[in-house]
């Protein structure tokens, strides 16, 4: 009797397993949450061998908490904050993540001859766009020159994981860390066998595969004039890494003058040209994130020249007296609908 009961039980389990295998229907599911001072969203197509959604969300949250704990300038205990407080001339053993991201940031700094500068933090903080409480105040030229004296990517070096500064510079990875976070979340999904997904952190996006019924992922480039719900351009985004940099969200106004959060390291002041939005498609969201900021600093003319010279897929919106003008590099043309 016991053997018969055991066999019957096993048969029920086998039937349940077979039913799940043959009756499984893929679904588009998703979740979101807060991270890095902004929000994230993950959408993906389920498959029969993937763990449940709650477990995947827990893994994603752990990844994002780790990136923030390593690279936040707002967290005084983060690895980046500890390095920034370390003495000049000392060698610092950086984690693999910090070394990887700083290496990419240094390459972009060199490629743009300092238009993008990974040590721009003192100027960002001076203008009130960094950690801590700030008032909307225009710094004096003396204060700007003092902050500029602490900026210079060439004072920072990386040898393997050995990070060193020859001057008391302040490293700020805000322009590239979100992109790195997106890439790490995407890698986590793929480790679970998920190959159809969209990951977004603060507007930086990575997609892979397709949606249900072979529908394409579509990404709208936000119109600076229309807010979050209006798209200036829609990109068919299959297997893409996309990042956008713009000055139309984070700024302050003083005496009728608008001051952008994007700081030009060479002048020490917010950008004043008419380029208001840059969208980059690259091999990784981390690179797209950094390159979008770099071109946003360079401006519409030099930025487009830089994109063409380096075969970068760039889409730019330039403010005109009435509305906005589209500019894009040759490498971006295949993505236009």
Query: In this predicted structure, which of 118-122, 270-274, 282-286, 320-324 has the lowest mean pLDDT?
Result: 320-324
Q: Do you know the residue count of the chain?
A: 337
pLDDT at 272 over 90: no
pLDDT at 114 over 80: yes
Are the beta carbons of 60 and 185 closer than 8 angstroms? yes
Q: Torsions phi, psi of 221, nearest 5?
A: -80, 115
Q: At what angle do helices 300-309 and 285-298 cross, to 10 degrees?
A: 140
Map 295-311 to HEC letters: HHHHCHHHHHHHHHHCC
- Range list of β-strands (E), 118-247: 156-159, 162-165, 197-201, 204-208, 218-223, 227-236, 241-246
pLDDT band at 288 (very low <50, low <70, confident <90, very high): very high
Are the beta carbons of 263 and 115 closer than 8 angstroms? no
Q: Is 214 annotated as a binding residue?
A: no
Through-space distance between the first and last CA atoms of the chain, rounded to whole angstroms = 69
127 compared with 39, residue with greater pLDDT: 39
CB proximity list for 261: less than 8 A, separation 6 or greater: 124, 127, 129, 247, 250, 251, 270
Q: Is 175 annotated as a binding residue?
A: yes
Q: Which CATH class, in words, describes the domain spanning 83-173?
A: mainly alpha
Q: Torsions phi, psi of 244, nearest 5?
A: -130, 135
Q: Is 293 annotated as a binding residue?
A: yes
Mean pLDDT of the chain: 86
């Amino acid at each position: 009797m016991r053997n018969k009961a055991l066999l019957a039980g096993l048969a029920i389990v086998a039937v349940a397993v077979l039913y799940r295998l043959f009756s499984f229907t893929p679904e588009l599911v998703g979740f979101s949450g807060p991270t890095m001072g902004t929000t994230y969203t993950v959408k993906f197509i389920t498959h029969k061998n993937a763990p449940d959604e709650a477990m995947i969300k827990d893994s994603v949250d752990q990844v994002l908490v780790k990136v923030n704990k390593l690279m936040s300038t707002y967290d005084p205990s983060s690895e980046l904050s500890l390095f920034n407080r370390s003495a000049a001339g000392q060698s610092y053993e950086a984690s693999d993540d910090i070394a990887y991201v700083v290496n990419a940031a240094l390459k972009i700094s060199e490629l743009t001859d300092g238009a993008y500068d990974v040590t721009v933090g003192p100027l960002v903080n001076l203008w009130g766009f960094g950690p801590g409480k700030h008032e909307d105040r225009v710094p004096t030229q003396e204060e700007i020159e003092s902050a500029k004296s602490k900026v210079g990517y060439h004072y920072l070096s990386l040898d393997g994981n050995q990070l060193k500064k020859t001057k008391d510079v302040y490293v700020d990875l805000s322009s590239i860390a979100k992109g790195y976070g997106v890439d790490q979340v995407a890698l986590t999904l793929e480790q679970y066998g998920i190959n159809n997904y969209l990951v977004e952190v603060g507007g930086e996006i990575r997609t892979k595969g397709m949606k249900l019924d072979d529908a394409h992922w579509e990404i709208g480039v936000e119109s600076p004039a229309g807010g979050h719900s209006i798209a200036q351009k829609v990109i068919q985004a299959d297997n893409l890494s996309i990042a956008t940099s713009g000055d139309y969200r984070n700024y302050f106004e003083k005496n009728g003058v608008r001051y952008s959060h994007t700081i030009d390291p060479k002048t020490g002041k917010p950008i004043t040209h008419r380029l208001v939005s840059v969208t980059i498609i690259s091999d990784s969201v981390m690179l797209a994130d950094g390159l979008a900021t770099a071109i946003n600093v360079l401006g519409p003319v030099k930025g487009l020249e830089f994109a063409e010279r380096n075969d970068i897929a760039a889409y730019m919106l330039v403010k005109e007296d009435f509305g906005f003008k589209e500019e894009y590099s040759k490498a971006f043309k295949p993505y236009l609908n």
